[in-house]
Structure 1
Amino acid sequence: MYAIHYLENKIEVLNVASRIIPAVDEKVRIKGRNGKIISVEKIGETKYFVDVEFEKNVEKSNTNFRSIGMKRK
């Protein structure tokens, strides 16, 4: 078993005990966010740091032409 530490901008996102070591350029989904593995760094015998770059979230615009506070009658 390996201890896999997923990092985004030097901030730890997730720790997992796994038998599989992720590969570079592999797609991954963590906490509902899609991302891509940038690098894998071996720290000890069973400890790995994995740098992940997540996709940017695009905010959807409100297409409602009425004001938000108005109710439908």
Structure 2
Amino acid sequence: MFVVHFFENKNELLNQLLRQVPAEGDDVVIKGRKGKVTSVTNIDENHIHVQLFFEKLKVVNKGKAVVDTSKKKKR
């Protein structure tokens, strides 16, 4: 069993106790985000640091909702 620390840049995202360590180039999903393993570093015999690169999120701007004023009471 290995303690695997997942990092994005210098931010630690997740610690997991795993039986198999991900290899470089593997696809991973952490917190709903898809990423790729860029490097794997052994710290001790049981501690491993894994650097990740995440895909950019697509931001969709839907705009404001149109309000239907025909049902409002007229004065």
Instruction: Tell whether the structures are fold-level matches, with TM greater than 0.5.
Output: yes
* Stretches (4+) displaced over 6 A: none
Aligned to 2:38: 38
Structure 1 segment 1-73 matched on structure 2, within 5 A:
1-62=1-62, 67-68=64-65, 70-71=67-68, 73=71
Deviation at 1:69, TM superposition (A): 6.2
TM-score normalised by the chain length of structure 2: 0.84
C-alpha distance in 2 between matches for 1:15 and 1:71: 49
Cα RMSD of the aligned pairs, angstroms, is 1.7
Deviations 1:5-55 (A, max 9, x none): 000011100000001011000000001000000000000010000000111
Unaligned runs of 5+ in 2: none
Q: Which has the larger radius of gyration?
A: 2
Query: For the residues of structure 1 that align with 2:42 and 2:28, how far apart are their CA atoms?
Result: 19
What is the TM-score normalised by the length of structure 1? 0.86
